[in-house]
């Protein structure tokens, strides 16, 4: 095992602590060992690279491992690539949304294949906003500091949160807040936004927070945390089409896993976790029609669960890294080979 790089220690001091780090390493250890027994170098895709916290530790732990690091945020990708300079021979950065499979497959090493085509040994998807995006005020993700309402993970493309508040119909804004943020006062907030935007458009986080305090009844604000938490989450999900990406990514990466390969999914709210849970339930179930007394050949489960349901962070990890408090981690292993 290699020594942890100085960049990791610097990142830890700056507040970037990877969630479920040691458990993630142990979940991927069997696929690395299996590849070594087969005389090949394993490939893991870190589909949500961020600042490269998980990837740096995986590369340090496993000397033969190759990692593709995918991120839609060019600034995060650049910072992570510089952080991982020591592993440049085994690390490939990919500027793309994590469900952009054309870009991911194009970046795979030529030998990352099995009989069915391009294949990987592992996929890590740590959903949600990265530490850098939360901590850099001008990105507009945080409700606790005043900044332009941007919230784009890739700031080079697409509408901002301010654009949504300025252009979406009232009913669409209410739906976003209700569905993505589980906000009880979605209808009232949407109406207040529409009333105000013709004369005083909401373009900063402080303006939106002020409107929330004016709209949400004082009694309701005493419970459930800061009134901006749910609203900012909902807008971020809409701006970045996060649930659409999750819907595409979970089955797509499962299809890329070779026999014995593992997928690790980290979800931070129920909407993401429901998507993961639903797809894994399908993939770990028998495909034999109900009522038959025996399993039909070729109709067994494609995957088996490695974790029992969703694993949660221990209190010790939460104390060390509060961002792990809401994480739900699920892992599966491919047990049925892919069809060419």
- Backbone φ and ψ for 66, nearest 5 degrees, come out as -115, 135
Per DSSP, what are the bridge partners of residue 314?
A: none
- pLDDT for position 299: 72
- Backbone φ and ψ for 238, nearest 5 degrees, come out as -70, -45
Q: Do the annotations mark residue 98 as ligand-binding?
A: yes
Distance CA 311, CA 327 (A): 8
Per DSSP, what are the bridge partners of residue 95?
A: 71
CA dist list (Å): 38 to 33, 61, 119: 9, 19, 15
Q: Do the annotations mark residue 71 as ligand-binding?
A: yes
Distance CA 265, CA 276 (A): 7
Q: Do the annotations mark residue 133 as ligand-binding?
A: yes
Contacts of 54 (CB under 8 A, 6+ apart): 18, 21, 24, 46, 124, 126
Distance CA 238, CA 270 (A): 16
Contacts of 260 (CB under 8 A, 6+ apart): 30, 31, 34, 121, 333, 334, 335
- pLDDT for position 8: 45
Are 267 and 328 in contact, with CB atoms under 8 Å apart?
Answer: yes
CATH of domain 155-239: 1.10.150.170
Other C-beta atoms lying within 10 Å of the C-beta of residue 267: 23
Indicate the DSSP class of residue 311. Answer: B
Q: Which CATH number fits domain 6-132+242-334: 3.30.70.1520, 3.40.50.150, 3.40.50.300, 3.30.470.20?
A: 3.40.50.150
pLDDT in tens, 88-111: 999 999 999 999 999 999 999 999
Low-confidence residues in the chain, pLDDT < 70: 1-16, 128-141, 222-224, 291
Kindly provide the b/e burial profile for residues 3-20, where b requires at least 16 CB atoms within 10 angstroms of the residue's own CB.
eebebbeebeeeebbbbb
Domain ranges in the chain are 6-132+242-334, 155-239
- pLDDT for position 135: 54
Q: Do the annotations mark residue 198 as ligand-binding?
A: no
- pLDDT for position 146: 86
Q: Do the annotations mark residue 127 as ligand-binding?
A: no
- pLDDT for position 138: 56
**Has this prediction a pTM greater than 0.75?**
yes
Distance CA 153, CA 156 (A): 9
CA dist list (Å): 111 to 120, 239, 258: 10, 37, 13
- pLDDT for position 133: 52
């Amino acid at each position: 095992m290699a020594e942890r790089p100085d960049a990791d220690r610097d990142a830890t001091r700056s507040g970037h602590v990877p969630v479920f780090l040691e458990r993630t390493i142990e979940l991927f250890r069997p696929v690395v060992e299996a590849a070594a027994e087969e005389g090949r170098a394993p490939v893991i895709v870190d589909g949500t690279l961020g600042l490269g916290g998980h990837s740096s530790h995986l590369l340090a732990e496993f000397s033969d491992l190759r990692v593709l690091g995918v991120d839609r945020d060019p600034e995060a990708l650049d910072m992570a690539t510089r952080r991982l300079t020591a592993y440049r021979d085994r690390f490939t950065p990919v500027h793309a949304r994590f469900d952009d499979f054309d870009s991911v497959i194009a970046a795979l090493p030529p030998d990352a294949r099995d009989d069915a085509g391009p294949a990987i040994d592992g996929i890590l998807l740590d959903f949600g906003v990265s530490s850098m995006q939360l901590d850099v005020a001008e990105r507009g993700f945080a409700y606790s500091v005043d900044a332009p309402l941007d919230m784009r993970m890739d700031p080079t493309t697409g509408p901002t949160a301010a654009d949504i508040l300025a252009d979406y119909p009232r009913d669409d804004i209410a739906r976003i807040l209700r569905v993505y943020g589980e906000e009880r006062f979605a209808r009232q907030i949407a109406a207040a936004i529409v009333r105000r935007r013709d004369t005083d458009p909401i373009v900063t986080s402080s303006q939106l927070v002020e409107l929330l305090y004016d709209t949400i009844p004082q009694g309701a604000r005493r419970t459930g945390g800061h009134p901006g938490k749910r609203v900012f989450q909902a807008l971020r999900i809409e701006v970045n089409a996060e649930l659409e990406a999750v819907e595409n990514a979970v089955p797509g990466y499962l299809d890329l896993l070779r026999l014995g390969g593992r997928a690790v999914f980290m979800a931070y709210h129920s909407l993401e976790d429901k998507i993961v849970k639903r797809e894994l339930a399908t993939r770990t179930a028998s495909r034999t029609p109900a009522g038959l007394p025996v399993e039909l050949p070729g109709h067994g489960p494609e995957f088996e669960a490695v974790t029992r349901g969703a694993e949660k962070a221990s209190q010790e990890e939460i104390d060390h890294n509060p961002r792990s408090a809401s994480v739900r981690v699920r892992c599966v292993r491919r047990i049925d080979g892919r069809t060419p």
